[in-house]
Amino acid sequence: MKLKKRRKFDKYLDILDHPIRFNPFVFSRTFLLWAFLGIVGGIIAAVYLIVLEYLTNSIAYFEGWLVIPVMAICGLLAGLVSHFIGDPGEINLIVNNIRFNKGKLDPKKNPSMVLSSLLCIASGGSLGPEAPLVQVTGSTGSWLGRILRLKGEELRSLSIAGMASGFTALFGAPLGGSLFSLEILHHKYAIEYYKAIVPALVASSFSYITFAFIIHLKSGSVWHFDAYEMIDKFDFVYVVFFAFLATMIGWLFICCTKGFKYLFGKLNIPTYLKTLIGGIILGVIALYFPLTRYFGLKEINEIMIGNLSIDFLLAILIFKILAISVAVTSGWRGGFIIPMFFLGVTLGLILHQLFPSINLALTVISCMAAINACVTRTPMSTTILLATLTGFTYFVPILFASLTGYFLAPRIPFISSQMEKEK
């Protein structure tokens, strides 16, 4: 009986492998596979973010000095999850597996990643949900591909399509999410895996629709920037100048992270004690500078309308860099893309107080684009994502800033697995 079922299953797989007969269109059965993956990715992202929102609101009840023990306990619990269930890895591992392990992502790491990241992000760690979502949706694509006996570029493309569905659900930008899943894999060649472009676009589109249907997502920008019109012919000079300064902040963040990585690496203690120490440090920072708590999605709008002094903004910038660096290196789980945007907004507000005659939106978005492109090496997708997230429709200045950050970035990328593999 089992053999009969197996033969029947193999027959269905063979049907999937062959194009539809008498089909006059480009459409094939693989389209349905990409669409299905996008729907699954949208559902995963929606459920994850609903649970995250609930936990965040529940933990936010604790304020004042209670922030320190709460974040310390959440850090300890996240470390215990990683210690006993398994280390879920970081974005480096995801990129490494896509590039050098034939696109195979291990879904067995998902329970540990989901549980630990929910604790870290909900308690106010300065990391976002992009990395957990990408790992879960990407490994789902990899798992589905292995069930369907896909190999080589087909398996890798399905894993990348899964990653794109996770990016898209969070950012609400199918094109930007698709490009990001491709760009982040290599520090130089954005389309190294060009065969995955169409699968990523299809999966992203269906993920966006599914996520919007479940969450009741409204169209429009997430962060509210004033409209911009190019009046001064020197605006692009300002863009490059601000982008240069933002890139220097990117360098500062990278150096700071490497320093904390060295310090935590010297501690010969279990992971859960490192996450405990990280939680205490993050709690102290959050106590004195509440705007540095959380990953910045809502805080960006708060800081944009806060009318804060330049001294306070400088303090926020410095301690946010410290908070992200500690979280990344102490074993806390999450992504750093949205936190990079927060750093860019803070720097942009500082520069606007120094150069008040220059359009605020132009100043801020130049810094956001440059610092993210510097750290992640993703100039194209950063341009599209920011245009979508901010409603800054004239995307040419964003592209100039992104390219400035990209070309002035350190030779060795922050995500080390983006480098070429040594032969």
Q: Are residues 89 and 47 in the same domain?
A: yes
261 in any annotated domain: yes
Could you list the residue range(s) of the whole structural domain that residue 277 is in? 235-418
For residue 288, the domain's CATH number is 1.10.3080.10
Q: Are residues 106 and 182 in the same domain?
A: yes
Q: Are residues 334 and 403 in the same domain?
A: yes
Q: Are residues 167 and 314 in the same domain?
A: no
Q: Please, are residues 413 and 419 in contact by the beta-carbon 8 Å criterion?
A: yes
226 in any annotated domain: no
CA angle 368, 372, 376 (to 5 degrees): 170
Q: How much is the pTM?
A: 0.88
With b meaning 16 or more CB within 10 Å and e meaning fewer, what string describes 252-263? bbbebbeebeee
CA atoms within 13 A on the CB side of 309: 3
**Reduced to 3 states, what is the DSSP secondary structure of residue 30?**
helix
Of 215, 248, 274, the residue that ends a domain is 215
Q: Are residues 51 and 90 in the same domain?
A: yes
230 in any annotated domain: no
229 in any annotated domain: no
pLDDT at residue 422, as a whole number: 45
Q: Are residues 185 and 276 in the same domain?
A: no
Q: Are residues 251 and 336 in the same domain?
A: yes
Of 153, 182, 215, the residue that ends a domain is 215
Q: Distance (Å, rounded) from C-alpha 385 to C-alpha 395?
A: 10
Of 215, 248, 272, the residue that ends a domain is 215
9 in any annotated domain: no
Q: Are residues 74 and 196 in the same domain?
A: yes
For the chain, which residues score pLDDT lower than 70? 1-28, 89-104, 186-193, 216-221, 416-423
6 in any annotated domain: no
Q: Are residues 335 and 397 in the same domain?
A: yes
| Positive or negative: CA dihedral 100, 106, 110, 116 | negative
- Specify the number of domains making up the chain: 2
Q: Are residues 204 and 340 in the same domain?
A: no
**CA neighbor of 346 nearest in space, from 324, 378, 377, 330:** 324
φ and ψ of 335, to 5 deg:
-105, 165
15 in any annotated domain: no
| Bridge partner list, 128 | 335
Q: Are residues 48 and 166 in the same domain?
A: yes
20 in any annotated domain: no
Q: Please, are residues 174 and 45 in contact by the beta-carbon 8 Å criterion?
A: no
Note the helical H segments in 216-336: 235-266, 271-288, 299-304, 310-329
Q: Are residues 185 and 264 in the same domain?
A: no
Q: Distance (Å, rounded) from C-alpha 2 to C-alpha 22?
A: 34
